[in-house]
Amino acid sequence: MKPYPDREDGKRVWLSQDEIEMVIDEAEDTEQEIAFKLGAQCGLRRKEIARVRVKDIVTDEKGHYHLRVWEDYAKHDHYREPPVPDSVANKVEAMADFGDLDDNDQIIDYTDKTVYRWLMRATARLEAETGDEGWDRVDVHDLRRSWATHILGQGVLPSVVMSWGGWKDWETFRRHYLGEFSPEVLEREREKVEFYADGDPLDAQPTANTTVPTSGGHYADD
């Protein structure tokens, strides 16, 4: 968790993939599961989650699923196509096949405020189960934030992440995302440090002290 740079309230939260799965497992029905995945695995904003229609899920020439996102549905402005997990696409196709949804129907037949309430109920249960008060800080946007940081850590090009997520300003994206790391990346880096890794740190071989003292005899600490 980190504070917002321009706000005094709230925290920015990055969830690990295990924590994302915990959120998804708290979904009370299929619609909630799809809503959580659209945020955490497709990078959709809260309002976008509530607007996705059945026909917005498409396949490319290799059979990979993508999601057509119009940031302004009235003007059909700022179009993008983030990938969609098979688990989401298959559930939506099944709902359409059984007649629950038509092509023009919205997959989530609720407002974005309802999506927010779903997540608040899920995280409240997780806080009660785990005793971790950090769950109380999680917002729908943190699902999108965690998605972007995770795929950056997996090696996806920043320009591709911007394209999938709909970021248009490079400086804003660089400031808010390129300087942050997913919990998985932080754990990977932690394991590189002998005294953080599993085992007795005293077993590690000492290394030469290469710190250079300043002219006054004190060691530089910058």
Higher pLDDT residue, 197 or 57?
Answer: 57
**pLDDT at 50 > cutoff 90:** yes
| Count of domains for the chain | 1
Do residues 18 and 150 touch, judged by C-beta distance below 8 A?
no
Within a domain: 197: no
Within a domain: 189: no
CA distance 44 to 143: 9
Residues present in the chain in total: 222
Within a domain: 205: no
CATH number of the domain enclosing 134? 1.10.443.10
Within a domain: 25: yes
* Residue recorded with tokens 């302004």: 72
- What is the per-residue pLDDT across 52-104, written as a single tens digit (0 to 9) for each? 999 999 999 999 999 999 876 555 567 899 999 999 999 999 988 887 789 99
- What is the per-residue pLDDT across 106-132, written as a single tens digit (0 to 9) for each? 999 999 999 999 999 999 999 999 999
Within a domain: 139: yes
Looking at residue 8, its pLDDT comes to 65
11 confidence band (pLDDT: 50, 70, 90)? confident
Within a domain: 184: no
Within a domain: 145: yes
DSSP assignment string, 167-203: ---HHHHIIIIIT---HHHHHHHHTTSTTTSSS-GGG
**pLDDT at 180 > cutoff 50:** yes
Query: What is the model's pTM?
Result: 0.79
Least confident of 146-155, 162-171, 180-189: 180-189
* Residue recorded with tokens 């129907």: 105
Within a domain: 83: yes
- Domain residues for the domain of 22 are 15-178
**pLDDT at 186 > cutoff 60:** yes
